[in-house]
Amino acid sequence: MQSKLKDSLFFIAFVCGHKDTTIFVITKIVIYLYRKYLDYYCARAQKTMSKTMNTPERIRIKDIAKMADVSVGTVDRVIHGRSGVSEASRKRVEEILEKLNYQPNMYASALASNKKYAFACLLPQHEAGEYWTEVESGIHEALTTYSDFNITVKLRYYDPYDYRSFAREARSIVEMTPDGVLFAPTAPQYTTPFTDELEKLDIPYIYIDSNIKEAPALSFFGQNSHQSGYFAARMLMLLAGEDAQEIVIFRKINEGIVGSNQQERREIGFREYMREHHPGCRIWELDLHAKRDGEDAQMLDDFFRAHPTVKNGITFNSKAYIIGEYLQRHRKTDFNLMGYDLLKRNVDCLKEGSIFFLIAQQPTLQGFDGIKALCDHLILKKEIARENFMPIDLLTKENIEFYYNR
């Protein structure tokens, strides 16, 4: 359009007989009018960019091409930063893009590219029905939701009570060189060598369940473990009564390893609250063996025989049902137990009254959102929040059904 205007100006100048002066004056006038026209066109486009529900309708590339008086191909090359565009045309297109606050349709671009994306997930080993089953469910749900993007996921598993197992599986993932990684980290000293290798390969990674401050990931999905433990202590002591003199922490441990960073940080938060508000309360510890379940009943027998006045306890892992089912078998109804996660056996104990409180942390959502974040970052080029905390949901037998039916 500008070239046509320029030809017209030369003709006017020739007719007027004062070529230089006339061109200068009329050029200024036409540029001014062109900019006014551009402002008007952009404003009109923005006003009409709405549907019935006030949802913005995407401006088409051919609309921009018409406004800039260039071809659709030129606009496409400018948007994607390719060569083959004159400086004048590029400037006009960029000016219009800026005025319209144009955002490329990355979803359509991703579909058109037909590129395949391979993700890797590293989770603790688990049995059907356990906590990590729900995380996997969320991962598979996300795969279905984003199936248009040609995503595949390779799942690997490590023994949460064996750091060497984590290191071994982490190495296998590095050798796969996936496009992105979603994993539940173990202790920092064993997690950081893995993340260092991923960073060398420029592979984005996301944490679920627990966060490692020493090696910041692209994003984290999970509870604030410390705050969760602090909150749990407050709820347990409200249940126990202000005059409670002793409580017990139940753990599952193998060779000194509790199985997750989450559990360690929950206990740190729990003990912090107790120091601040109940410094005189005695905290007992009972460490059940993580790989010898057959010993649990005897160890619980021995503990309650030795500590008959302990009436309140908590476990920071997802296996509160071990204690809950023991309490049911022994008809021990004078003990208040608190635990984590909505495993079926935990929920059954909650409904029967052998567990008083459960704290939920939405594992399915963690798995789903982790895969979604990788898609948003790698495919749709969106900004991803660094920390995404799950709510700390406190459940009892009175509200559990409403929670399930949300």
Q: Mean pLDDT by 10-residue block, N- to C-terminus, for the chain (406 residues)?
A: 51 51 59 61 52 48 86 82 85 84 64 83 93 95 91 96 95 98 94 97 97 93 97 96 90 79 94 96 94 89 96 96 97 96 96 97 96 94 93 95 73
Q: Which among 370, 378, 357, 255 is positioned nearest to 314, based on CA atoms?
A: 357
Q: Is 121 in the same domain as 94? A: no
Is 395 a domain residue?
A: no
CATH code, domain carrying 50 = 1.10.260.40
Which are the contacts of 121, defined by CB distance < 8 A and separation ≥ 6? 139, 153, 154, 155, 156, 181, 182, 183, 370
Distance (Å, whole) CA 38 – CA 245: 77
Of the residues 84, 104, 124, the one at which a domain ends: 104
Q: Which amino acid is at 77?
A: R
Q: Is 78 in the same domain as 179? A: no
Q: DSSP characters for 151-174? A: EEEEEEEE-TT-HHHHHHHHHHHH
Q: Can you give the pLDDT at residue 338?
A: 98
Q: Is 217 in the same domain as 295? A: no
Is 405 a domain residue?
A: no
Q: Is 119 in the same domain as 213? A: yes
Is 137 a domain residue?
A: yes
Q: Can you give the pLDDT at residue 83?
A: 83
Is 403 a domain residue?
A: no
The CA–CA distances, whole Å, from 367 to 119, 170, 347 equal 13, 18, 21
Is 393 a domain residue?
A: no
Of the residues 104, 126, 156, the one at which a domain ends: 104
**β-strands 393-395, 357-360 pairing:** antiparallel
Q: Is 259 in the same domain as 292? A: yes
Q: Is 153 in the same domain as 271? A: no
Q: Can you give the pLDDT at residue 261?
A: 87
Q: Is 319 in the same domain as 247? A: yes
User: What is the DSSP-derived secondary structure letter of residue 254?
Assistant: B
Distance (Å, whole) CA 9 – CA 14: 9
Distance (Å, whole) CA 215 – CA 151: 26
Task: Give yes or no for a contact between 362 and 406, defined as CB atoms under 8 angstroms apart.
Answer: no
Q: Is 230 in the same domain as 123? A: no
Is 306 a domain residue?
A: yes
Q: Is 309 in the same domain as 343? A: yes
CATH code, domain carrying 341 = 3.40.50.2300
**Domain total of the chain:** 3
The answer to whether the pTM exceeds 0.85 is no
Is 392 a domain residue?
A: no
Which structural domain, as residue segments, surrounds residue 313?
225-360
Q: Can you give the pLDDT at residue 62?
A: 82
Q: Is 247 in the same domain as 355? A: yes
Q: Is 49 in the same domain as 154? A: no
Is 131 a domain residue?
A: yes
Q: Is 235 in the same domain as 339? A: yes
